[in-house]
Amino acid sequence: MTIDINPDLYAQVPDEHGRFGIYGGKFVAETLMSALAELENLYNDLKDDPAFLREFDLDLAHYVGRPSPLYEAARWSDMIGGGRIYLKREDLNHTGAHKVNNTIGQALLAKYMGKKRVIAETGAGQHGVASATVAARLGLECHVFMGEEDVRRQALNVYRMKLLGAEVIPVTSGSKTLKDAMNEALRDWVTNVDNTFYIIGTVAGPHPYPMLVRDFQSVIGREARAQSLAMTGKLPDALVACVGGGSNAIGLFHPFLSDNEVAMYGVEAGGKGVETGEHAAPLSAGIPGVLHGNRTYLMQDENGQIMHTHSVSAGLDYPGVGPEHSWLKDIGRVNYVDATDTEALAAFHRVTRVEGIMPALETAHALAYAEKLAAEMIPCQHIIVNLSGRGDKDILTVAEIDGIDLGTR
């Protein structure tokens, strides 16, 4: 399937208002508008500044450990017997996920702005850990907002953040998950806007966040593109990444968007099945609306109230999605599909056993779909899956689901 879209289109978004087509924008309370303008101006000055980019690249090389390898999952691919699967090993980054690419970038912006206090929201805790890590390194005060439900199911990451010197604030409002953590972070930012930098963890939020998080994460796709050419002599036939807010997916996809021959699949959390309503798949089953500063596909009821979501993975348990994904869906560039809790858990176990790589439960959604896709392909075709994070943080959840008592509770 080849796509016929003008390859110049992608450089034109977001526009000056932060819009991707009808999506994106700056839907926030007036108190935050000046802070967003300040950030936007600074970022516009820095994004092509060689000194800033060199500093970012050096941090990625020496602190994060980039480039991350592209690895051919040979045994798994042989078992599937179709297309070859390559894994972009973001799990090997410092702190164990792609999230750190973005926190390194935003911490640099905070440093340039002279802010001494950073805040972050987190779902699975990976972004919280990555934020606490850069804060520790730069000597910044760090507060991480995390839904009470996620504090419970991601206890290991909570302790990691505390070890790093961050304060973890359990959020008890609403559904007690990622969306509520983001509400609370926005409330903190409005209160402490003068001295605080808000490190948003995904390609959502008000402009310029979806743009700058995308830019920082695009290192994933730039490396993967060069690695694919070097290892296979061609571009991949397909890219697969999981989508919660969508930062690892945009990071992989963006540098390939103009390559119309590369198919792309964003895998949402199908939860107990999209047809049951218990899922976190706004692109598959949502309606456009406004939440957390941008217009995007949302899971909402007929009165415009945001619905509770369900996913086995805390990092995908979010009722919205980055606005650029909404746009990429509407123009038909990216296919948005889903994998259920059960499918993701099966893929978690399979890749762990077959490749010796334990993926995060978020990532396992992408792996579950990649397996189906590979089965329909032929061996001269290949897929790159963003192995966005490692699964150590999830072993308590997996043990609980499998009915295994580790004696930790």
Nearer to other proteins, 12 or 303 (CB): 303
CB 316, CB 269: distance < 8 Å: yes
Binding site for other proteins (CB under 8 A): 17, 25-35, 173-174, 179-180, 183, 186-187, 190-194, 287-293, 295, 298, 300, 302-306
Q: Provide, rounded to whole angstroms, the least separation between the CB of residue 140 and other proteins.
A: 20
Q: Provide, rounded to whole angstroms, the least separation between the CB of residue 179 and other proteins.
A: 7
Exactly one of 88, 99, 176, 329 is catalytic; which is it?
99
Nearer to other proteins, 48 or 302 (CB): 302
Our answer to whether residue 313 is catalytic in this structure is no
What's the CA gap between 328 and 20, in Å, rounded? 9
Both tokens of 213, joined, read 């998080």
Q: Provide, rounded to whole angstroms, the least separation between the CB of residue 302 and other proteins.
A: 7
Nearer to other proteins, 117 or 187 (CB): 187
What's the CA gap between 142 and 119, in Å, rounded? 6
Q: Provide, rounded to whole angstroms, the least separation between the CB of residue 337 and other proteins.
A: 26
Q: Provide, rounded to whole angstroms, the least separation between the CB of residue 300 and other proteins.
A: 7
Q: Provide, rounded to whole angstroms, the least separation between the CB of residue 160 and other proteins.
A: 28
Q: For the packed helices 178-191 and 30-46, what is the interaxial angle rounded to 10 degrees?
A: 90
Q: Render 269-326 in DSSP notation, one character per residue.
A: EEET-GGGT-SB-HHHH-EEEEETEEEEEE-B-TTSPBPP---SSGGG--S---HHHH
Exactly one of 121, 184, 268, 324 is catalytic; which is it?
121
Q: Provide, rounded to whole angstroms, the least separation between the CB of residue 305 and other proteins.
A: 4
Nearer to other proteins, 290 or 331 (CB): 290
Tell me the three state secondary structure of residue 1.
coil
Q: What are phi and psi of 88, to 5 degrees?
A: -85, 110
Nearer to other proteins, 26 or 214 (CB): 26
What's the CA gap between 409 and 406, in Å, rounded? 8
Task: Report CA-CA distances (Å) from 63 to 93, 103, 130, 301.
Answer: 9, 12, 12, 44
Our answer to whether residue 223 is catalytic in this structure is no
Side-chain-side CA neighbours of residue 353 (13 Å): 7
Our answer to whether residue 38 is catalytic in this structure is no
Exactly one of 175, 228, 311, 388 is catalytic; which is it?
388
CB 200, CB 121: distance < 8 Å: yes
CB proximity list for 349: less than 8 A, separation 6 or greater: none
Q: Which residues of 243-253 are buried (b: 16+ CB within 10 A; e: fewer)?
A: bbbbbbbbbbb
End-to-end CA distance of the chain: 50
- Cα torsion for 395, 398, 402, 404, to the nearest 10°? 30
Both tokens of 4, joined, read 């016929």
Q: What are phi and psi of 278, to 5 degrees?
A: -95, 85
Nearer to other proteins, 16 or 402 (CB): 16
Provide the annotated active-site residues: 99, 121, 388
